[in-house]
Structure 1
Amino acid sequence: MDSLSPLQPIPSLPAPEPEMSWRSLNRFRQDQRREAFYLTCLRYGQHLWLQRLPARAILCLDRAWGAELQGHEAVLRKWPLPYLALLQLLKAAPADAFLGNPRVHFQHYADRLGAPRIEQRKWRSWACWALTRAALPDLPGDPKHQVEEPTLETIARMLDLHGHPGETQLWQSTLAQT
């Protein structure tokens, strides 16, 4: 794909709103990061993707995973946690667009998180790390970052413990598509 070719939207992300920018997310205070924030993260991720900014789109997905949701919200029925969106993005990222190294990103993110919901966000990051490793197996890890990499079984067990109801199955079904 050359740099002039338009990207197709990520099918598992909603369409962006017109005129989106960093302000679209910045308007949400920490105590407002619930359903509307989650949906805005997904929409802005799609916007960034369509602007040929896959690395920045991944950062929006990170923010979506960090939204204060319990798992029963209506927005999750229409737009589940974006494991599939991440996989679709990784597989479709054009060679001439900056993707960075999402394997290293998720490895570092999992090991360096702060509040809120550290354990939930940590294991979601490890789940994304595993998806990235499966989708893009040639991406190297960070040999200077001394961290114990979890097994798929450990990730599943910890998502069962800290994630939403059904989240482990959502992640595993996405992993099976790699």
Structure 2
Amino acid sequence: MTTNKGAPGRDETPEERADRLWTDMLQEVRVCQTGAQILFGFLIGVAFTPRFAGLPDFDKNLYTATVILGAVATGALVAPVAFHRLLAGHGMKPELTHVAGHLIATGLIILALTIAAALLLLLRIATGNPAAAWIISASVLAWFTTTWLVLPQVVLRRTAARQAATGESGEARGGRPPR
């Protein structure tokens, strides 16, 4: 059995690494899949409420865009399951984890846009103050961007800088090697 020294801090074969990464990915995406599916389900129901017909055209168009975003986010977050089902047993787990990682990242970005658009629609209708709705929704989207994208990059860069200064590698700590 050959081991992969490129697997940070682990003595595992490429197949074992792919299995571990796949399991980690499934755990991570489970929450997002459920949330996206629930949000999408609620969004679908909005068009069937009595108040929907009386919405201004902008809000109806915003609703349509939000439902489309929700469908695409749900599709991207569920896609790794379909990939796995179709590719299982073909010895393609490393490729599967690579593609699934990109699909999940795409799904998270689209989910953030879906939530911001749904919030914008809700706040426009609930408050009657379009300017406040835009500001709050943009702020929530900025929060998602900060916590989901920027903060992980800051942590990664700080860790890499600290490791470079101390001569410690990410592999020695069990983490990812610096980029």
Question: TM-score if structure 2 supplies the norm length?
Answer: 0.28
Flag the structure with more relative contact order, 1 or 2, with Cα contacts below 8 A and sequence separation at least 6: 2
Report which of the two structures shows the higher radius of gyration computed on alpha carbons: 2
